[in-house]
Amino acid sequence: MKNSRLKNSISILFLALFLSMKMAGLHVLSHTDDKEHALHCYICDHAVSNNLTPAISADIPEYGIKNTESIPQLENSEHYDFVVSSTIATDQLFSRPPPSLL
């Protein structure tokens, strides 16, 4: 019981934080008539700073991708042995039937 209550409380807290950031973005609309106050409003600066933070750092080192293909050396075997058996192998017992006549 306590575990589910804790999970619900944490999810409500995160939802409240998310909605407060979205509502802080609507605070900008209250500055339609203010000319000087809009430049020094801390609530507006905090709401806009979330959108101006880069998701990826600019000083990421460049990594090169090398495409290395190895060409295997194939040897031709001159000796090929094939054993003919009149019995059916165990892995072929349940294979498809032979094709019918056309």
pTM across the whole model: 0.34
- Read off the DSSP letter of residue 46: H
pLDDT of residue 80: 73
Query: For 39-80, how does the pLDDT look when each residue is reduced to its tens digit (9 = 90+)?
Result: 677 777 777 776 677 777 677 777 788 888 888 777 777 777
Backbone angles phi, psi at 59, to 5 degrees: -100, 45
Considering only CA atoms, which of 10, 17, 67, 68 is closest in space to residue 46? 17
